[in-house]
A = this chain, B = another copy of it.
């Protein structure tokens, strides 16, 4: 039989009220009484039953997190950042992926209403915006990570995508690359549009308008990046660099270039975006724009926690800086 607060009270010779008070470290308990109760608690190995906290409790001390997939190369870092921050604050993490269509979404929604968690962190899966908006309206605190679609209604943390694109452009320009091929991600994503805008603007400012035939949309997979570059080479397109909107796409691009007999970086320099764990391990190692994934997770968790602690409902968005990491696939200008 599980030991309850009634058992503790009985053994310690106090009322449940008093036992409850020392449990919640209320000040109005006599020192020696408190000590005695605490001793009994330790001895009996008593632990409050979270389930039974029931009505009395306001908070589940748990937050939910909804992500499209756990197998994306950078997702582990984000979730690790979230878990670390939450554990330090003594919050648990309930993890969801909505990968089975409408049914998953409904199930997820009911968990929310059931108050299984106090707030929600989300890397937005496709087609969940309506649901998220509804939940948010109902009063569930929500923080978005990597604002994929530009939703001004939600507090969010994201990376400096525009500046990241600009940094990639400056780097390529500084090494004399005038005709970059841009391998974008799906353009419905806000981050993709920002990366492209930063890149395009910077090239334009230097007097080199982007060749629209050299801007191709891809889907963030390695296979599609490879195929797109292979096609461009076969069509005889003239380009001296590739700016891929994610590292996986850049890896695919490098494979296609290698297969076509083109040297990286001699013939074509390649820059990715993300700095996933494999980026430094490719051959040649990949120059890329680093997103601070773990910090994004930590920051988002921190914002949500602050909100739950009574912070303002509409926190300002946080834009974390990106950083150009120069490696072999697009080295710095010689000398």
Binding site for B on A (CB under 8 A): 45, 47-55, 57, 60, 62, 69-73, 75-77, 79-80, 83-84, 87-88, 90, 92-97, 99-100, 104, 107, 110-111, 113-116, 222, 251, 255, 258, 277-278, 281-283
Contacts and interface: CB of A to CB of B under 8 A. Distances in A.
Contact of A94 (B92, B255, B281, B283): B92
A115 B49 contact: yes
16 contacts: A47-B110, A49-B114, A50-B114, A50-B115, A51-B57, A69-B80, A70-B83, A71-B277, A84-B99, A87-B99, A87-B107, A90-B107, A92-B111, A92-B116, A258-B283, A282-B282
A90 B97 CA distance: 12
B54 A52 contact: yes
A116 B50 contact: yes
A94 B62 contact: yes
Contact of A53 (B51, B96, B97): B51
B47 A113 contact: yes
A70 B62 contact: no
Given A52-B54, A54-B55, A71-B80, A281 B87 contact: no
Given A50-B60, A62-B116, A70-B80, 20 more contacts: A47-B114, A51-B55, A69-B76, A69-B80, A70-B76, A70-B77, A71-B80, A71-B277, A75-B76, A79-B95, A80-B97, A83-B95, A90-B107, A92-B96, A92-B116, A95-B95, A255-B281, A277-B278, A278-B278, A278-B281
A269 B211 CA distance: 44
- As for how many copies of this chain the complex holds, the number is 2
A104 B92 CA distance: 12
A113 to B, nearest CB: 4
Contacts of A83: 70, 95-97
Contacts of A115: 49-51
Contacts of A100: 87-88
A94 B79 CA distance: 12
A97 B80 CA distance: 8
Q: Among A60, A69, A71, A115, which residue has the most Cβ atoms of chain B within 10 A?
A: A71
A294 to B, nearest CB: 8
Nearest to A279: B278
Nearest to A48: B114
A221 B165 CA distance: 31
Q: Among A48, A114, A251, A282, which residue has the most Cβ atoms of chain B within 10 A?
A: A114
Given A87-B100, A222-B281, A70 B60 contact: no
A283 B284 CA distance: 9
